[in-house]
Amino acid sequence: MAEVTGKAFDFNLLSRVLKYTKPYRATFLWAAMLTVLLSVVSLAQPLLMQLSVDKYILTNDYQGLINICILMVVLLVLQTLIQYYQTFSTNSLGQSVIRDLRVDVFNHITALRLKYFDRTPIGMLITRTVSDLETIADIFAEGLISIIGDMLLVVGIVIAMLLMDWKLTLVTLIPIPLMFLATYIFKEAIKASFQEVRTQVAQLNTFLQEHISGISVIQYFAREKQEMEKFKVVNRKHRDANIRSNWYYSIFFPVVEIIAAMSLGLLVWYGAKRIISDQQLAVISADPKNVTPGLIMAFIAFTNMMFRPIRQLADKFNTLQMGMVGADRIFKVLDTDETTRNDGTLKPANISGKIDFENVWFAYNEENWVLKDISFEVKPGETLALVGATGAGKSSTINILNRFYEINQGSIKLDGHDIREFDLAFLRTQIATVIQDVFLFSDSIANNISLNNPAISRQQIIDAAKEVGAHDFIENLPGGYDYQVMERGSTLSAGQAQLISFIRALVYNPKILVLDEATSSVDTETELLIQNAIFKLMSGRTSIVIAHRLSTIQSADRIIVLDHGEIKESGSHQELLKIEHGYYRRLYDLQFNSEGISR
C-alpha cells in the first residue's frame, strides 16, 4: 500500500493553498459567512418545533400554530436559499483556485528541463494537472468551509440542548465517545485507502497514455492480448483500491446509524421517564425545567441534526485529506527546481552564428560520460556534419547546444560568448532544431508551422513552404493550410511531416540550424524534395547536421566522426576518405558504397 503522506491539517500546505484564494477573498468571506448563517438558521427549526408543540398544540392555540408554521416555512425557504448560495460560492471558489493553480502547474511543467521528463511518466503529470487538482477544489467545495460549518452546527446544537435541559443532553450524548472512536478508526483506514486509490488512478492514466500513444507498436507485433492482460492487472488494482475504500464506508455508515439510534433510544427513554415522573407529581408544564413532549421532539430533531454532520465529518476530513494529498503532490511538481537557469541577459540585435565547443564534457548521469573533451569550431554560414555509430553522442551534441541539457565541463560559445550568457529564449530562437521524430499538434497546418506565433503571417508561411517545395502538397490537402492535422501528424506521411518541420524552422528564420536528418525512407520524389529543402535550410546559416545522406555529408564544410563520445576524425569528405582504415572511410564503405555513388 502506498505510503500515506498527507496530513488533514498540514497548516503550511493549507496556507499555501489558501494563498490562491487571495484574488477571490470576497467570495471566500461570503462563503464563510453563509456557512455560519446556515448553521444558525438550522438551529432555529427544532426550537420552533418545541414551541409549536408546547405553546400551541398542547394549549389548542390554532392561530399561534399557523403563525409558527408560516415562520418555519419562511425559515426553511431562507435556509434553502442560503444553502444554494453557499454551495455555489464554495464550488466556484474551488474551481477558480484550481484554474489558477493549473495555469501555474502547466507553466512550470513547460519550463522544466528535459532531464525531468526523462524519468517522469507523462501519465503521472497528466494525473497531477487534472485529477489531483480536482481534489484541491473539493477542499473548498466539500472540505474546509463545510467542516467549519459542521463543527459550528454541532457546537451550536450541544449548547442549545444544554441550555434547554442539561441532564437530558448528557444522557443523549452518552454514545458520542463511541461515535468519535468509530470516526477516528474510519478516518485512519480511509486515509490509507484513498492514497492507494490516487496511486492506482495515476497508474491507470500512465498505462493508458503510453499504450494509446504506442498503439502502432502493439498492433505491429500483435501484442494486443498480452497488453490486455497487463491492463487487466492495472484495472483490477484500481477496482480493488476503490472497493476497499467503499468497504470502509459500508461498515462505517451502519455503525453510525446504530450509535445514532442508541442516542435516540436513550433520549426517548430518559425523556419519557422524566415526563412520567413529572406527571406523577402533576406538575407538567408548570415548571419550565420540566421535560415536555415538545422538548423531546426538539431533542430528537437536534440529535438527528447533530449526527448528520458528525457522520459526514469523517468523510469531509477525508475530502480535506485528499485535497491535502493532492496539494502536496502538486506543490512537489511546482517545487521541482529543474528549470533551465536563465541568468543570461545577452540579446544582441544581430549574431553572426559562430559556434565553438571548447573541451566539452557531458553526462546525463554523473560520471557516465557521453561526450568527452569535445572541441570544434563552426564558422558563420558553415555546415558541420556529425557522423558516427548509434549511441556515439551525436544527438547529445545538438541537445547541449540549445541547453536542453547542461554540460558538465568546458564551454560552448556563440559569437565568442558562453551560451549561458544569452537570454534562454533568445538563444533558442536563434537556433532552429529539426529532429527526426517530428511532433505535430492537433491543429491546422498553418498553426503547426507558426506555432501560433501571431508575428508570423500567413504570407510568410506560404513563402517558406514554397521555398522548401512543400506548397503544392499542402495546397492539395483538403482545406490547404487550414487542414486539421490529427494527433502527432498521423494523417500525414513521414516525408510530409518532415517538410512541415522544415517550414517551421524556416519561418523563424534562425541564424543557426540544427538538423537530425530523418532516416525513414521516403519515395524518390519526396526524397528529392527533402534534399532540396535541406540545402535551402542550410544555405546562409551555420548548420550542425546529424547527417545520414551522402549528399549532405559531401556538401558539408567539415565532418566530425564521433565514437563513444570522442572525436575520432575531423575534416572534409575528401580528406577523411584519404585516411586508410579510418573510421569515416569504413563508415562510408559500409553505408554508402553500395549506393554506387562515386567518391
Ligand X SMILES: Nc1ncnc2c1ncn2[C@@H]1O[C@H](COP(=O)(O)OP(=O)(O)OP(=O)(O)O)[C@@H](O)[C@H]1O
Which residues lie near ligand X (CB under 6 A)? 118, 364, 370, 388, 390-396
Residue number with CB closer to ligand X (118 or 224): 118
Q: Which residues pair with 515 in a beta bridge?
A: 434, 545
Residue number with CB closer to ligand X (147 or 360): 360
Residue number with CB closer to ligand X (370 or 506): 370
Residue number with CB closer to ligand X (398 or 538): 398
CB of 394 to ligand X, least distance (A): 4
Reported as type and span, the H/E element at residue 372 is: strand 369-378
Residue number with CB closer to ligand X (396 or 526): 396
CB of 114 to ligand X, least distance (A): 7
C-alpha 573/C-alpha 133 separation (Å) is 56
Q: Which amino acid is at 417?
A: H
Judged by DSSP in three states, 522 sits in coil
| φ/ψ (deg, to 5) at 214 | -100, 25
Judged by DSSP in three states, 185 sits in helix
Judged by DSSP in three states, 378 sits in strand
C-alpha 551/C-alpha 385 separation (Å) is 11
C-alpha 464/C-alpha 491 separation (Å) is 22
123 contact partners, CB below 8 Å, separation of at least 6: 202, 205, 206, 207, 208, 209, 210
C-alpha R_g of the chain: 36
CB of 545 to ligand X, least distance (A): 12
Q: How many helices (H) and strands (E) does the chain have?
A: 22, 10
305 contact partners, CB below 8 Å, separation of at least 6: 42, 46, 153, 157
CB of 429 to ligand X, least distance (A): 24
Structure-block grid coordinates of residue 341: 537557469
CB of 400 to ligand X, least distance (A): 10
CB of 323 to ligand X, least distance (A): 35
CB of 245 to ligand X, least distance (A): 38
Residue number with CB closer to ligand X (223 or 548): 548
Residue number with CB closer to ligand X (433 or 450): 433
Residue number with CB closer to ligand X (324 or 378): 378
Q: Which amino acid is at 20?
A: Y
CB of 370 to ligand X, least distance (A): 4
